[in-house]
Amino acid sequence: MKSVAVIRAGPAGIAAAKALAEQGLQAVVFDGKSHLGGMWQDAQAAPQGPAWEGMRTNLSEHNCCFSDHSHPSDMQDFPTVPEMGKYLSWLCTTLRFGKKYQALN
Ligand SMILES: Cc1cc2nc3c(=O)[nH]c(=O)nc-3n(C[C@H](O)[C@H](O)[C@H](O)COP(=O)(O)OP(=O)(O)OC[C@H]3O[C@@H](n4cnc5c(N)ncnc54)[C@H](O)[C@@H]3O)c2cc1C
């Protein structure tokens, strides 16, 4: 199987890796940080990031997710940053990206 490097493990990189997998290509995702999820993981893993723990999304839970992987049913509307981080981690585990993730530092 061909493998493709994806640089940046935020939502955009996860979407790229997902699209590659759907085309039968293996994505290896690289990021400068030690966690997947980009700014949505920063409140916990890197408090100096652009998002803060009490922040909520400005789009509802129905729009802040992948169309084929909705948020869990107990998710509040306009999820918090930790909830988004949890969702993205869950998504990466479900799609098995975790094993193909490498921190660059
Ligand atoms: C304060 C704020 C609030 C927001 N609120 C919302 C919202 O409510 N709803 C919404 O849909 N969008 C919101 N956004 C938009 C937000 O940008 C996207 O939701 C989303 O996180 C963008 O995904 P991304 O993957 O492009 O970037 P990011 O989530 O920023 O992830 C980028 C990743 O790339 C890595 N990286 C960067 N440069 C390099 C490099 N040279 N080498 C290796 N790794 C690198 C970083 O470490 C990071 O992990 C908000 C943005 C901000 C700043």
Tell me if the pTM is above 0.85: yes
Q: Which pLDDT value is given to residue 43?
A: 62
Q: In angstroms, rounded to a whole number, what is the distance separating the alpha carbons of residues 6 and 84? A: 21
Looking at CATH, the fold of the domain delimited by 3-103 is given as FAD/NAD(P)-binding domain (3.50.50)
Q: Which pLDDT value is given to residue 100?
A: 56
Q: Which helix (H) or strand (E) holds 43?
A: helix 39-45
Strand partners, 91: none
Q: Which pLDDT value is given to residue 105?
A: 52
How are strands ordered across the β-sheet holding 101-103?
A: 3-7, 26-31, 101-103
Residue 74 is classified by DSSP as T
Taking CA atoms only, the protein residue closest to ligand 1 atom 6 is 57
Q: What radius of gyration, in Å, describes the C-alpha atoms of the chain?
A: 14
Ligand 1 atom closest to residue 78's alpha carbon, by position in its atom list = 8
Q: Judge if the beta carbon of residue 58 lies within 6 A of ligand 1.
A: yes
Q: Judge if the beta carbon of residue 45 lies within 6 A of ligand 1.
A: no
Q: Which residues contact 74 (CB under 8 A, 6 or more apart)?
A: none
Please give the distance, rounded to the nearest whole angstrom, from the Cα atom of residue 13 to the centre of ligand 1. 10
Domain boundaries, the chain: 3-103
SS3 state at 80: strand
Residues in the chain with pLDDT values less than 50? 99
